[in-house]
Each structure stands twice: as structure tokens, then as C-alpha cells.
């Protein structure tokens, strides 16, 4: 359908009930992906679609699903799978708002929540089920069969590149065994991968394929300014992170910031360190309890806290409109993960910045990212002398945070997860304790060794920053 001929959701065939609900949340004009996908889904076709983050993908499948439900309501009508709990919660909220006048019943099936309660909710045959693959697969395999997915009309795979990329193969196969052969399958993602292209040849129904391409041919929106900060090797990354935040705050005192890093441990360390330095923030990672994750995200979304430190759990799909800056504390190994991360800013036509800290051994990753996004990352200069001034304080606060984490037994949740996976692999209790015990010993030896080397490393890093400053002069 030609975008210039569409001026409203009515033109797409959306009914007045849904049009009114869209207007109540300030949505009056469809986006490109909605213009192209909604009529095809309403026509009964499978859909494989990709568009840049912030382009309105959720409404592109939610509106036609709700329209079809309104015409013939029954439960369970649609199953929506997504990789993260936070994204599942967000999708549920959007369905609840849009389906308010339909007396729509939705149900979350995600980790971190009571499984018994979720089972009770499923037994009530909700109309829309939004789930993460791991928890739903566990529920389906554990039985008893008090509910069925065999009558669903729609199966939606959101962030399909991630869910079909290999990490969730077993769970997705399990779930597929409980679905009817006759259904509409909708696959949505921010990036079009080879896996998604292959899907078109494997779908049983006629499939509509859509890839949103604007006149820039870039993989990121044109309102996004992208930079890299070259940093010396060694334990200096956190000092440059603090200086980047300071520089941004000097120009923008109210804009929200998302900082991405690589592991749950690093995420918690950075969060604690920044809080002590004076940058109030919340952390979001997989080792937090679900209620803590929800509370962190709520306080950030509502602008109570202006800085969110996160792992990849916040990289996909989350719609946080006011984010002005994304910082890659550690640049991702996979270029497409970079696209998802920086997509948290410059949403819905707003401008935004993305800044990546890059050590010498990470320069090749920048090249791979530039190739996939279709533009060069501009080099941003950070005053090395200012970094040197704050480096000692940052190192001291991080050292305190490390000790506090060790004393709080941070990581016990991870050990529980590893224990569960080893049991599933058929290991005996004795073997599991031996494996986990040896890991603990190695970790303690490494930590002790690191503590002995920290002061020496700090002095080396100071010299590297001074050398970089002299070379610039």
C-alpha cells in the first residue's frame, strides 16, 4: 500500500473502537510498517517484517489481532513470544490499553513470577498470552494439560532474529509442538536476517515480507548522532565513562541516559560506583529479582531516576521515549546488537546520541558496526587530563563496590541457574558440587590475585593516560 495515500488507521480498515483507543494514547497516524503490514495481516497472510527501532512494530501486529478478535472473540486467541520479561510486560500493557473497550483478558507467562499463579491465569483461558520461551516451554512440559494453545489464530514472534537465532531453539521447538498447524504466523524484528528470509519459503500460508528502508539506507535512524571515544588499554574505561556523562550533563541536565555493559556483575559494579560518585542510577540485569527489575524500569521510565545501567535485557524493544544518550561502556561483539542498543534513543522522530568507548583491541568491532549501520562513527575527544583527575576516586569507589558485592554473595542466583542446567544435563549431585566448587575456588584465587594487582594496575593506567595526553600535545 502506498504511504502517501494513507492518512489514518481507518484507511487501513481498523475499526472505530481501536481508532479511539489509539487516539487516547496520542497515536493518530500510522507509521510505514503499520501501513504496509496491517492490511496484509487482516487479509489472512503470514507476515515477516523488519523496521528500525521506534517504528511502531508492536501496533503493526496488535491492531489487526485485536480487530480479528473483536469480530470473533474466544480464548486463547493469540500467543506472543518475546525474548525478555521487560518487553513482554510492555507488550501486555499495550494490549491492555488498546483492548480496553473489548473487555480483553491478557496473561503474562514469564520467569521471575510465581508459576502456580501463571498456571491459574492460563486455566482461565485468557484471550492474549504474552510469554518468554523458557517459562512457557517449562509450563507446557510440566503439565497437566489444563489449557490448550491448539485453537490460537495468531502466533507472533517478536524480536524474531533473537528468538530464531539459535539460543532458544529447544524452547521454540517445544512450543511449536503445542500449536495448531492452521494459524497465522507473524515475525517481527528490527533487523532482517537470513533466518527471517528463509522463513518465507517455509511458511504454510501465503507470506507477506516487508523491510522498512528509508531514503538514507542506514540501519539506524538519521536523527541519531553516533560517536566513538578511543581509550587507552587497562583499567581506565570507567574513568572515561564518568567523564562522558559529565560532559553530557554540562550540556543537557535533564536528558535520560542508558549505559550498556557486557555482564550482570559489571552492570551492578558500574551502578554502585556511579551512585557513590554522585550519578544516581538504577541497574537492570538478569540476576535481579523480577520485582526489582520492574521497579528499576518504572523509576527510569517515569523520570524519577535519569540513568539506567543495563545489560542486553534492555537492548530490545523497550519504548522509553525520553532517552537522550546511549553509552556503550563495552561495545557489543555482534554488530546487530549495537543497532538494538542505540535504538533506545532517537525514537519517534526525536534526536539522540550514542557514544561507544573503544579500546585498541576493539577497533575491529567498530569497523564491523560501521559496515552494517552504513556510516562512520565520529571520533569524540574526551579531555584526558580531566579523566586523570577523577580516575583515583572512580577506582576507589569501584574497589569498595567489589568488596561489597563479594560480601553480599552476589552471584548465588547464577549458581542456582547453573545447578539447574547441570541437573537437566543429567549430572549427579556429587558431580555438580565438584564442578561448582572448583569454579568457586578458581574465582576466589582470581579475586585474591586481582586485589594484589589493583594498585599496580592503577599506577600503570595513570601513566598511560599521561602518555596519551603528552602525545596529543
pLDDT digits (tens, 9 = 90+) for 85-109: 999 999 999 999 999 999 899 999 9
The edge-to-edge listing of strands for the beta sheet with 184-189 is 106-109, 128-131, 78-81, 154-158, 184-189, 46-50, 207-211
Residue 141 confidence (pLDDT) above 70: yes
User: What is residue 251's predicted lDDT score, i.e. its pLDDT?
Assistant: 94
Instruction: Indicate if 394 and 420 belong to the same structural domain.
Output: no
Share above pLDDT 90 across residues of the chain, in percent, rounded to a whole number: 59
The residue to which cell 507509521 is assigned: 31
Residue 80: inside a domain: yes
The three three-digit cell numbers of residue 156, written as one number: 507472533
Q: List 328's β-bridge partners, or say none.
A: 260, 356
Dihedral Cα 321, 325, 326, 328, nearest 10 deg: -170
333: domain CATH number is: 3.40.50.300
Residue 14: inside a domain: yes
Residue 218: inside a domain: no
Instruction: Indicate if 206 and 294 belong to the same structural domain.
Output: no
User: What is residue 457's predicted lDDT score, i.e. its pLDDT?
Assistant: 61
Residue 439 confidence (pLDDT) above 60: no
Instruction: Indicate if 207 and 264 belong to the same structural domain.
Output: no
Residues in Cβ contact with 238 at an 8 Å cutoff, skipping those fewer than 6 apart: 270, 273, 329, 394, 395, 398
- Report strand pairing: 323-328 vs 128-131: unpaired
Number of neighbouring beta carbons within 10 Å of residue 97: 14
Instruction: Indicate if 204 and 228 belong to the same structural domain.
Output: no
Residue 87: inside a domain: yes
The segment with the largest mean pLDDT, out of 137-141, 213-217, 319-323, 377-381, is: 377-381
Rg of the chain over CA atoms, in angstroms?
24
Last residue of a domain, one of 400, 435, 464: 400
Residue 386: inside a domain: yes
Instruction: Indicate if 264 and 394 belong to the same structural domain.
Output: yes
Q: Tell me the CA distances in angstroms from 271 to 161, 258, 265, 310, 393, one per residue in order.
A: 29, 11, 10, 9, 15
User: What is residue 462's predicted lDDT score, i.e. its pLDDT?
Assistant: 62
Average pLDDT for 303-319: 87
- Indicate if the alpha-carbon torsion angle 367, 369, 373, 378 is positive or negative: negative
Across 115-119, 270-274, 457-461, least confident range:
457-461
**Confidence grade of residue 201 (pLDDT, cut at 50, 70, 90):** low
Residues in Cβ contact with 373 at an 8 Å cutoff, skipping those fewer than 6 apart: 218, 219, 220, 226, 335, 338, 339
Instruction: Indicate if 14 and 93 belong to the same structural domain.
Output: yes
Residue 387 confidence (pLDDT) above 90: yes
Region of 415 on the Ramachandran plot (φ > 0 left; ψ -120 to 50 alpha; else beta): alpha
Instruction: Indicate if 395 and 417 belong to the same structural domain.
Output: no
Residue 446 confidence (pLDDT) above 60: no
User: What is residue 456's predicted lDDT score, i.e. its pLDDT?
Assistant: 61
User: What is residue 356's predicted lDDT score, i.e. its pLDDT?
Assistant: 97
User: What is residue 144's predicted lDDT score, i.e. its pLDDT?
Assistant: 64
User: What is residue 7's predicted lDDT score, i.e. its pLDDT?
Assistant: 76
Instruction: Indicate if 152 and 18 belong to the same structural domain.
Output: yes
- Indicate if the alpha-carbon torsion angle 331, 336, 339, 341 is positive or negative: negative
Distance between CA 255 and CA 7 in Å, rounded? Answer: 32
Helix axes 16-24, 85-98, angle to 10 degrees: 120
Task: Count structural domains, the chain.
Answer: 3
User: What is residue 75's predicted lDDT score, i.e. its pLDDT?
Assistant: 85
Residue 217: inside a domain: no
Distance between CA 54 and CA 35 in Å, rounded? Answer: 15
**Confidence grade of residue 115 (pLDDT, cut at 50, 70, 90):** confident
Last residue of a domain, one of 400, 427, 451: 400
User: What is residue 37's predicted lDDT score, i.e. its pLDDT?
Assistant: 96
Last residue of a domain, one of 372, 400, 428: 400
Residue 8 confidence (pLDDT) above 70: yes
Residue 220 confidence (pLDDT) above 80: no
Q: Tell me the CA distances in angstroms from 395 to 3, 248, 302, 329, one per residue in order.
A: 54, 21, 31, 16
Average pLDDT for 226-247: 94
The edge-to-edge listing of strands for the beta sheet with 352-358 is 282-284, 307-310, 256-260, 323-328, 352-358, 224-230, 378-379
User: What is the domain range of residue 431?
Assistant: 410-472
User: What is residue 468's predicted lDDT score, i.e. its pLDDT?
Assistant: 62
Main-chain dihedrals φ then ψ at residue 411, nearest 5 degrees: 115, -10
Read off the pLDDT of residues 315-332 as tens digits, 9 standing for 90 and up: 776 777 779 999 999 999
Q: Which long-range contacts (CB under 8 A, 24 or more apart) does 170-174 make?
A: 170/137, 171/133, 171/134, 171/136, 171/137, 172/81, 172/133, 174/137, 174/140, 174/141
Instruction: Indicate if 246 and 119 belong to the same structural domain.
Output: no
Across 125-129, 240-244, 339-343, least confident range:
339-343
Instruction: Indicate if 453 and 423 belong to the same structural domain.
Output: yes
Residue 326: inside a domain: yes
Q: Which residue has the higher pLDDT, 406 or 134?
A: 134
Burial of 256-273, coded b for 16+ CB within 10 Å and e otherwise, reads bbbbbbeebbbbbbbbbb
- Indicate if the alpha-carbon torsion angle 382, 383, 385, 386 is positive or negative: negative
Instruction: Indicate if 382 and 237 belong to the same structural domain.
Output: yes
Q: Which residue has the higher pLDDT, 372 or 413?
A: 372
Residue 195 confidence (pLDDT) above 80: no
Instruction: Indicate if 417 and 395 belong to the same structural domain.
Output: no
Task: Residue 210: name the closest of 190, 184, 224 by CA.
Answer: 190
pTM of the model as a whole: 0.77
The three three-digit cell numbers of residue 163, written as one number: 528468538
Rounded to the nearest integer, the mean pLDDT of the chain is 86
Task: Residue 339: name the closest of 361, 368, 379 by CA.
Answer: 368
Residue 85: inside a domain: yes
Residue 451 confidence (pLDDT) above 60: no
Amino acid at each position: 500500500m502506498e504511504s502517501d495515500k494513507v492518512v489514518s488507521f481507518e484507511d487501513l480498515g481498523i475499526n472505530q473502537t481501536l481508532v479511539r483507543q489509539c487516539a487516547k494514547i496520542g497515536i493518530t497516524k500510522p507509521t510505514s510498517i503499520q501501513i504496509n503490514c496491517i492490511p496484509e495481516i487482516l487479509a489472512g497472510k503470514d507476515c515477516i517484517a523488519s523496521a528500525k527501532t521506534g517504528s511502531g512494530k508492536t501496533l503493526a501486529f496488535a491492531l489487526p489481532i485485536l480487530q480479528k478478535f473483536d469480530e470473533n472473540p474466544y480464548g486463547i486467541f493469540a500467543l506472543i513470544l518475546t525474548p525478555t520479561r521487560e518487553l513482554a510486560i510492555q507488550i501486555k500493557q499495550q494490549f491492555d490499553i488498546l483492548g480496553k473497550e473489548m473487555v480483553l483478558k491478557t496473561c503474562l507467562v514469564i520467569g521471575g513470577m510465581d508459576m502456580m499463579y501463571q498456571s491459574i491465569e492460563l486455566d482461565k483461558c485468557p484471550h492474549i498470552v504474552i510469554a518468554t520461551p523458557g517459562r512457557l516451554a517449562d509450563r507446557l512440559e510440566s503439565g497437566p494439560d489444563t489449557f490448550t494453545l491448539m485453537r490460537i489464530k495468531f502466533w507472533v514472534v517478536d524480536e524474531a532474529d533473537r528468538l530464531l537465532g539459535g539460543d532458544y531453539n529447544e524452547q521454540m521447538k517445544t512450543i511449536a509442538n503445542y500449536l495448531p498447524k492452521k494459524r497465522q504466523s507473524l515475525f517481527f524484528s528490527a533487523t532482517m536476517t537470513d533466518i527471517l528470509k528463509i522463513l518465507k519459503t517455509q511458511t504454510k500460508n501465503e507470506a507477506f515480507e516487508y523491510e522498512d528502508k528509508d531514503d538514507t539506507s542506514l540501519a539506524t535512524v538519521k536523527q541519531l548522532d553516533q560517536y566513538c571515544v578511543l581509550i587507552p588499554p587497562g583499567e581506565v574505561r570507567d574513568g572515561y565513562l564518568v567523564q562522558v556523562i559529565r560532559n553530557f550533563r554540562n550540556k543537557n541536565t535533564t536528558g535520560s541516559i542508558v549505559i550498556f555493559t557486557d555482564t550482570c556483575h559489571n552492570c551492578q559494579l558500574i551502578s554502585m560506583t556511579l551512585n557513590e560518585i554522585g550519578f544516581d542510577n538504577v541497574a537492570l540485569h538478569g540476576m535481579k529479582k523480577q520485582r526489582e527489575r520492574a521497579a528499576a524500569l518504572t523509576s527510569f521510565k517515569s523520570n524519577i531516576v535519569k540513568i539506567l545501567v543495563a545489560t542486553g535485557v534492555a537492548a530490545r524493544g523497550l519504548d522509553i521515549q525520553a532517552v537522550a544518550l546511549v553509552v556503550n561502556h563495552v561495545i557489543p561483539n555482534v554488530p546487530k546488537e549495537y543497532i538494538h542498543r542505540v535504538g533506545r534513543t532517537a525514537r519517534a522522530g526525536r534526536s539522540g546520541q550514542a557514544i561507544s568507548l573503544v579500546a585498541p583491541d576493539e577497533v575491529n568491532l567498530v569497523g564491523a558496526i560501521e559496515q552494517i549501520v552504513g556510516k562512520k562513527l565520529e571520533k569524540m575527544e574526551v579531555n584526558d587530563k580531566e579523566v586523570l583527575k577523577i580516575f583515583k576516586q572512580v577506582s576507589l569507589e569501584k574497589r569498595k563496590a567489589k568488596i561489597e558485592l563479594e560480601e553480599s554473595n552476589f552471584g548465588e542466583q547464577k549458581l542456582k541457574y547453573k545447578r539447574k542446567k547441570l541437573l537437566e544435563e543429567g549430572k549427579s549431585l556429587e558431580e555438580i558440587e565438584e564442578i561448582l566448587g572448583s569454579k568457586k575456588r578458581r574465582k576466589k584465587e582470581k579475586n585474591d590475585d586481582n586485589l594484589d594487582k589493583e594498585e599496580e594496575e592503577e599506577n600503570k593506567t595513570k601513566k598511560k593516560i599521561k602518555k596519551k595526553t603528552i602525545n596529543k600535545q
